[in-house]
Amino acid sequence: MQAWLLKPWAKPLVFTLCLLPFAWLFYAASTDGLGANPAEALLRQTGDWTLRFLCIVLAVTPLRQLSGWNLLVRYRRMLGLYVFFYACLHLLCYAWFDMGLDWGDIVADIPKRPFILVGFTTWLVLLVLAATSPKFVLKALGGKRWQWLHRAVYATVPLALLHFFWMRAGKNNFAEVAVYAAILSILLTWRAVRAIKK
């Protein structure tokens, strides 16, 4: 696995695989393959993929520690940027389909509805993480400061889950919420236990 991770085509392959959900959504939207309410389907699925990539990013460290595949760390930044990418698509779907890109209405709507406010706050945290992910920012801030800043990713977990919970509460559909909550709890507990041992 270590040798595979060093291959020159490994990163482009992972990059392409991460784009596949977007490509499928684009194709389905352009061919009327998203059901009777394509706007709702796009909003829901972009949110789902944001959560899935958040799970993948948080799984990198435990998987690296369990397997010894230390080169996985080379892919964490890319995967983190994909969390932000799908979060941006999710926000765009809300701004476009729900609010008609009326920025005045959007600004007024965000503090008015708690689940929108929580979702937007999550996006702001991801924006800060994405903006400070380049290597030159790491050098400018210094390793320790940069690391402390990027621990803010842990704050996105309860915020994203709360946003997802409120989104599903309207339809009394909590099964998916429980699955994501369980996965993210296991990943965060792993980190907590390792930190306590250290």
Work out the average pLDDT over 172-183: 89
- Does the pLDDT value for residue 198 go beyond 80? no
Domains held by the chain: number: 1
pLDDT at site 165: 92
Q: Which amino acid is at 52?
A: R
Q: Give the count of beta carbons closer than 10 Å to the beta carbon of residue 67.
A: 11
Q: Which amino acid is at 190?
A: W
pLDDT, tens digit, 9 for 90 and up, residues 36-89: 899 999 999 999 999 999 999 999 988 988 888 888 888 899 999 999 999 999
Closest by CA to 178, choosing from 161, 190, 153, is 161
pTM of the model: 0.93
- Does the pLDDT value for residue 196 go beyond 90? no
pLDDT, tens digit, 9 for 90 and up, residues 11-46: 999 999 999 999 999 999 999 888 889 999 999 999
pLDDT at site 105: 93
DSSP string, 23-39: HHHHHHHHTT-S-S-HH
pLDDT at site 164: 93
Tell me if 28 sits within 8 A of 44, measured CB to CB: no
Burial class from Cβ neighbours inside 10 Å (0-12, 13-18, 19+) for residue 182 reads exposed
Residues in the chain: 198
Residue 48's domain comprises 2-197
pLDDT at site 41: 93
Least confident of 1-5, 64-68, 71-75, 186-190: 1-5
